[in-house]
Amino acid sequence: MSDSVERTIRGLVPGPPPVHWRLDAPSAAPDDLPLLLALHGWGQDEDVFARLLRPLDVPPLRILLPRAPGQGGEGGASWYDYDGDQPRFRAALERCESTLLATLDAVERDAALRPRRRWLLGFSQGGYCGAWLALRHPERFAGMVIVGARVKTEWLAEDAARAAGMGFRALLCHGVRDTAVPVDAAERSRDALASAGLRVELHRFDGGHSLGRRPLRHVADWLVAAAEDLDTRPGIG
């Protein structure tokens, strides 16, 4: 997030599973300030991801950063364990969906927030979870930014079509040298989402499986343009 962040609060949603979270916002922010739900990658946590997002220079936003409830890496966290088994993976995404909705509801209730718009940003593991969550709940999210992940469009085609009808939009960002999730996976995701009628853009950047200043500049520009577009379309977002 940009240097406009002036206040951080932390909390714990007891679960199960328990979820630690941090909420970054300008001081004296109104309760209807737009909210960005930001989901970190494997082996990270909410503080690591907050530092990565520092260059995200956008108009005032609350950024909610939950910590994944599982263990991943040395001291890091994980949204799910992946062994290639697709039914187990789908079940894991459904558990993430339930956990994240409960976390979002609890934080907004306890902090007395009523954001006039929500966005989702997910990186790597957080991108897989985030795309699943946002596309299945376009009544909650105006759009999503997915970095270094593939959208599971084979499971989300109907959800994507419904989201498209509600004005939802998506930005996919992917490093052309990503060896963890090759860029052609993002290209297939873009094509499938576009076929469902969704407004989607793919931004390729010179990098690997990472989220740095260059893609974040594009993310910031996209968020600003998307918000401005929605503000001119009454009844959407």
What pLDDT score does 4 carry? Answer: 54
Q: pLDDT by residue for the chain (237 residues), tens digit each?
A: 554 558 999 999 998 999 999 999 998 899 999 999 999 999 999 999 999 999 998 888 999 999 999 998 777 899 999 999 999 999 999 999 999 999 999 999 999 999 999 999 999 999 999 999 999 999 999 999 999 999 999 999 999 999 999 999 999 999 999 999 999 999 999 999 999 999 999 999 999 999 999 999 999 999 999 999 988 764 433
What pLDDT score does 235 carry? Answer: 43
The SS3 call for residue 237 is coil
Longest dimension (CA), the chain: 47
Relative to beta strand 19-25, strand 143-147 is unpaired
Architecture per CATH, domain 7-231, reads as 3-Layer(aba) Sandwich (3.40)
Q: What stretch of H or E contains 78?
A: strand 77-78
Residues 6+ apart with CB under 8 A from 163: 134, 135, 138, 198
Which tokens is 130 given?
A: 């985030």
pTM of the shown model: 0.94
Q: How many CB atoms lie within 10 A of CB 168?
A: 26
Which tokens is 105 given?
A: 């509801």
What pLDDT score does 3 carry? Answer: 46
Domain ranges of the chain: 7-231
Give, in order, the Cα–Cα distances in Å from 90 to each of 32, 83, 97, 129, 221. 33, 12, 11, 10, 32
